Chain A
């Protein structure tokens, strides 16, 4: 069964949940909010709905919206001011990219290390990377 819920706030924030998706609902929510923040649909310091209000609107359990917000807060996308509410945090896009780049660099170090151990050449590895890149498209 597939049901879609949507919530629109001032024609801005939009959240669509698919029950049939493999992705847990809290992840769908945090993903969509993250996306809208990064795209600028949700602007800095904008007030987000409370977790309870969001849960009621979407007709899901409070613990789910709570989890979504916890993940967003942990990743620095939103921040909560006690007594005031939850707001979109200042996004430093370039620093985010830098953080992600570092993570990718660390993973690559591991991969290159293992490839060397298995005697996989540099060119073989680069070919593999190219194949994967092209496959994603």
Chain B
């Protein structure tokens, strides 16, 4: 099966927020970074995938199976890490693990203990005694200890120091090394996404802006800059978004080769990083 996750025309209506016709696909063996500003719909989408909330319409297939019809079977093969880590505060980590472990067919205490040791977490501590970083490590240890084929992570590295974030990235890259596992993780830490992701899906205001191979993004988009004197409607139409200031303009374009031909030395072309692409696409014209 090529596609580990398929989302088709997914919609969810709330009073003051609407997730609209979301479509994207994650292929087996790859990492997808799910990005977007706060409130764009990342967490909502993830909750819909995990059936924590009910969709208004659309289809979600995981491992080729409908996520509602085969819910239990699918969840057996998914490891999850959420931003709000909800475990039993007054219980020890060991007891917390015991309460969860039983539900998974392929749980391995050996693997779990290895991760706990690697992360230097003491399993006898009570969950509420841990720092945010330790809680995240614990959640990660749980997610990685039952041979999950798909990891779903909602802001798994937020609030963590860069050193540990790097450690997590390395662990995750190792996890998918053999090509049989995949990861979907949402994050607003763009540097993590740029480092780790194979595909990037950008969501804004409840709609998917793009879902693309990271290399392709880097090949396609450029920032074009020039003086205000050459900025006309034609040029503006070639750009996805324009920013103006007193001394010139800059615009995001997917058509830079044309622009170079037309405007030659009147413009300069710069390569944006993923963050800049997002900022241009999500922001308003200035």
Chains A and B touch each other in the complex, with CB atoms below 8 Å apart? yes
A contact residues vs B (CB 8 Å cutoff): 22, 24, 26, 52-53, 55-56, 59-64, 67
Q: Tell me how far the C-beta of B222 lies from the nearest C-beta in chain A, rounded to whole angstroms.
A: 11
Residues of B within 8 A of A67 (CB): 215
Contact A52 B177, beta carbon cutoff 8 Å: yes
B152-172 residues with Cβ-Cβ distance < 8 A to A are 169-170
Q: Tell me how far the C-beta of A64 lies from the nearest C-beta in chain B, rounded to whole angstroms.
A: 6
Q: A22-B271, A52-B179 are in contact. Are A63 and B30 (CB under 8 A)?
A: yes
Whether B79 is near chain A, meaning CB under 8 Å from some CB there, is no
Contact B215 A62, beta carbon cutoff 8 Å: no
Contact B215 A59, beta carbon cutoff 8 Å: no
Q: A26-B215, A63-B214 are in contact. Are A53 and B177 (CB under 8 A)?
A: yes
Q: How far is the CA of A63 from the CA of B215 in the complex (A)?
A: 8
Contact A56 B219, beta carbon cutoff 8 Å: no
Q: Tell me how far the C-beta of B199 lies from the nearest C-beta in chain A, rounded to whole angstroms.
A: 7
Residues of B within 8 A of A56 (CB): 173-174, 177
Contact B213 A63, beta carbon cutoff 8 Å: yes
Q: Tell me how far the C-beta of B183 lies from the nearest C-beta in chain A, rounded to whole angstroms.
A: 11
B17-31 residues with Cβ-Cβ distance < 8 A to A are 29-31
Most chain B CB within a 10 A radius of its CB, from A52, A61, A67? A61
Contact B173 A59, beta carbon cutoff 8 Å: yes
Whether B218 is near chain A, meaning CB under 8 Å from some CB there, is yes
Residues of B within 8 A of A26 (CB): 215
Contact B196 A61, beta carbon cutoff 8 Å: yes
Whether B286 is near chain A, meaning CB under 8 Å from some CB there, is no
Q: How far is the CA of A9 from the CA of B64 in the complex (A)?
A: 38
Residue of B nearest to A63 (CB): B198
Whether B176 is near chain A, meaning CB under 8 Å from some CB there, is yes
A sample of 7 more A-B contacts (CB under 8 A), given A52-B29, A55-B177, A56-B174, is: A24-B218, A24-B219, A59-B173, A61-B195, A61-B198, A62-B29, A63-B215
Contact B170 A52, beta carbon cutoff 8 Å: no
Residues of B within 8 A of A59 (CB): 169-170, 173, 195
Q: How far is the CA of A26 from the CA of B198 in the complex (A)?
A: 12
B84-136 residues with Cβ-Cβ distance < 8 A to A are none
Residues of A within 8 A of B176 (CB): 52, 62
Q: Tell me how far the C-beta of A74 lies from the nearest C-beta in chain B, rounded to whole angstroms.
A: 14
Whether B197 is near chain A, meaning CB under 8 Å from some CB there, is yes
Q: How far is the CA of A61 from the CA of B195 in the complex (A)?
A: 7
**Which 5 A/B pairs are nearest by Cβ-Cβ distance?**
A63-B198, A61-B198, A67-B215, A56-B177, A52-B177
Q: How far is the CA of A24 from the CA of B174 in the complex (A)?
A: 23
Tell which of A24, A53, A61 touches B197, judged by Cβ atoms closer than 8 Å: A61
Q: A52-B177, A52-B179 are in contact. Are A62 and B30 (CB under 8 A)?
A: yes
B207-221 residues with Cβ-Cβ distance < 8 A to A are 213-215, 218-219
Q: A61-B31, A61-B198, A63-B30 are in contact. Are A52 and B215 (CB under 8 A)?
A: no
- Cβ contacts A to B, 16 pairs, < 8 Å: A24-B219, A26-B215, A52-B178, A55-B177, A56-B173, A56-B177, A59-B169, A59-B170, A60-B195, A61-B195, A61-B198, A62-B30, A62-B31, A63-B198, A63-B214, A64-B215
Q: How far is the CA of A56 from the CA of B173 in the complex (A)?
A: 6
Residue of A nearest to B199 (CB): A63
Q: Tell me how far the C-beta of B107 lies from the nearest C-beta in chain A, rounded to whole angstroms.
A: 25
